[in-house]
Amino acid sequence: MFAAVAAALHVFIFVMESVLWSQPKVWKRFSVANQAEADLLKPMAFNQGFYNLFLALGIVVGLIIGGSAGHAIVIFACLSIVGAAAVLATGGKEYCGAAFLQGIT
């Protein structure tokens, strides 16, 4: 159940970062200060969005496959999410909230 929620959240983040990034209401959610900064970060956000999509797809595929192989895929994808959250947390105090949310979903 938690894995499915994490997958859904990562698809949502993919949409924000890779599809809707040009909208100020989206990039402001990521604490981007202005349009020039958003334009500069757009390629990175696009790439990061696909990273989130691939993690979500790993969970979904694992849930569909089921059994021990599917379980292993789900665990790997979820541990990758937790690992990425740990890396994000090393970026400074301003990232700890986002890292916590990423790590628990």
At 8, is the secondary structure helix, strand, or coil? helix
Residues 40-96 pLDDT 10s: 999 999 999 999 999 999 999 999 999 999 999 999 999 999 998 888 889 888 778
Of the candidates 77, 72, 37, which has an alpha carbon nearest to the alpha carbon of residue 53? 77
At 32, is the secondary structure helix, strand, or coil? coil
- Give dist(CA 50, CA 22) in Å, integer: 16
Q: What is the pTM of this model?
A: 0.84
Radius of gyration of the chain (CA): 15
At 49, is the secondary structure helix, strand, or coil? helix
Cα 45 from chain centre: 10
